[in-house]
Chains A and B, each alone.
Chain A
Amino acid sequence: MLRRFRLEEPETVAEASELLSRFGESAKVYAGGTELLLAMKEGLVHYERLINIKQLKSLRQIKSDNGAISIGALCTHNELETSPVIRQTLPALHMLERNVANVRVRQAGTLGGNLCFAEPHADPGTLLMALGATMVADNAAGRREFSAEEFFVDAYETSLRDDELLSEIRIPVPGAHFRSAYLKFGYLERPSVGVAVAFNSNGGGLSDVRIAVGCAGPSPRRVREAEALLDGKSREEAERSLAQAGQVAGSASQAISDLHGSQDYKEHIVGVLLKRAFHGAFS
């Protein structure tokens, strides 16, 4: 059962930001509701007001814009999995979105809501880090841009300011030699471990290697030490370093022992997924 709350329906981003300033912690932004309503039904949180931002149509576009794919924060997982632009230019994101939770969650849940709620056992943040995504946040005063790495702070905590809305996620349009993959593993309803890998491979060697790990610990993390083990190497050399890179990424994942598995187990799975994701990126 949900406790009673009031509904605000701003028509612009600035209005929404003003409502957030005015009501502070007694109000919360509401989009798809797939995470928020569960926490509210469970009685874990209560807000006097929900600020429904679904009327803000400008936050619901997917477009190719200035060398980047721009995704409005209100795009649902279903809109992303069925978007031809995403399928063609960012196949790893297409596959990730196609496999988020189930068909009903994909229908209601938004990418922005998923990121802002920062539930540790979520997929998109990890891949967005490997894809070099930029987050765009708006408030009544203006706009701020920062990397996906700067966005995630801790479990359920982001670097968004109190009056800011995540409005857009920008992903650089990959070049011809770009390869990427995201793999997850879990036997509960939510993923237990997620690993993303991305790099350029033009025959000579690998460059711009990016590796990120999520779900195992409190928030997704990029693992530069693991990237360095593969960067600049030929595919064959990199394959020989994969086991070590996996170990490094596992330790860096800040895995915790919980219902999803022990810390050791999750660290091991990170290594397994990294190997598979690396090979998958080439196929």
Chain B
Amino acid sequence: MAKAMARRSEAQLIPLSFTLNGRLQEIEVEPHELLLDVVRDQLGLTGAKRSCDVQVCGACTLLVNGRPVSACTTLAFEVRGCSVLTIEGLAEDGKLHPLQSAFIEHGGFQCGFCTPGMILAAKALLDENPAPSEADLKHFMHGNICRCTGYKKIIESIMAAAQQMRSKS
């Protein structure tokens, strides 16, 4: 315990103020702490998953200022002043986001491990390009890996959500 406290006192603490799913967070982190660990272990939001740990699979995808990042390879202090969105913040007032509804309706997941990252990456795509071609979609999403679905139903889900979102706006 004394040892742990001594280590803590040597630590360089960086004040970190950012919004997480619309709510202001004011915490302190050490330079080496990863965004994924802070969000999962310190803030209790476990939607983002650690999987490949090398920015290849997309299971840890979070949106920082609307853009997809690998939380497994992002130092937590980097989100100073940023707006971070996790899958837990996507539904509004208990109403699922059109992407979430479309994934359910079109069977866009099986085991669900990749799904939070998949849906957040898709949100970034549709925010940037509300009417993507299938080629656009594949290009943007090719860094999010699913080992169950074979992707066909994921593509159908995102296309359906895109149409739904366009017809609403």
Q: Is B91 in the interface zone, CB < 8 Å from A?
A: no
Number of A residues whose C-beta is below 8 Å from B?
22
Kindly identify, within residues 5 to 62 of chain A, every residue whose CB is under 8 Å from any CB belonging to chain B.
5-7, 33-34, 37-38, 41, 50
Is the beta-carbon distance between B142 and A102 smaller than 8 angstroms? yes
Closest to A30 in B: B75
* 15 A-B residue pairs with CB within 8 Å: A3-B32, A4-B31, A4-B32, A5-B31, A33-B75, A34-B55, A38-B55, A102-B142, A102-B144, A103-B124, A103-B140, A104-B55, A107-B68, A107-B69, A108-B70
Closest chain A residue to B140, Cβ basis: A103
The answer for the CA separation of A101 and B56 in the assembled complex, in Å, is: 8
Closest 7 CB pairs of A and B: A102-B143, A7-B31, A2-B32, A104-B70, A37-B73, A107-B67, A4-B32
B58 touches A33 (CB 8 A): no
Q: Is A236 an interface residue (CB 8 A)?
A: no
**Residues of B contacting A34 with CB < 8 Å?**
55, 73
In the complex, B11 has a CB within 8 A of chain A:
yes
B14 at the A interface (CB under 8 A): yes
Residue numbers of B with Cβ under 8 A of A are 11-12, 14, 30-34, 53-56, 58, 61, 67-70, 73-75, 77, 121, 124, 139-140, 142-144
Does A5 lie within 8 Å of B32, measured CB to CB? yes
Which residues of chain B come closer than 8 Å to A107, judged between CB atoms? Answer: 67-69
Residues of B within 8 A of A98 (CB): 139
- Shortest Cβ distance from A208 into chain B, in angstroms? 32
B31 CB contacts on chain A under 8 angstroms: 4-7, 50
The smallest C-beta distance from A205 to any residue of chain B, in angstroms, reads 37
- Chain A residue numbers with a CB within 8 Å of B139 are 98
Known: A4-B30, A103-B121, A104-B143; 12 extra A-B contacts, CB below 8 A, are A5-B31, A6-B12, A38-B54, A41-B73, A98-B139, A102-B144, A103-B124, A103-B143, A105-B70, A107-B67, A107-B68, A108-B69
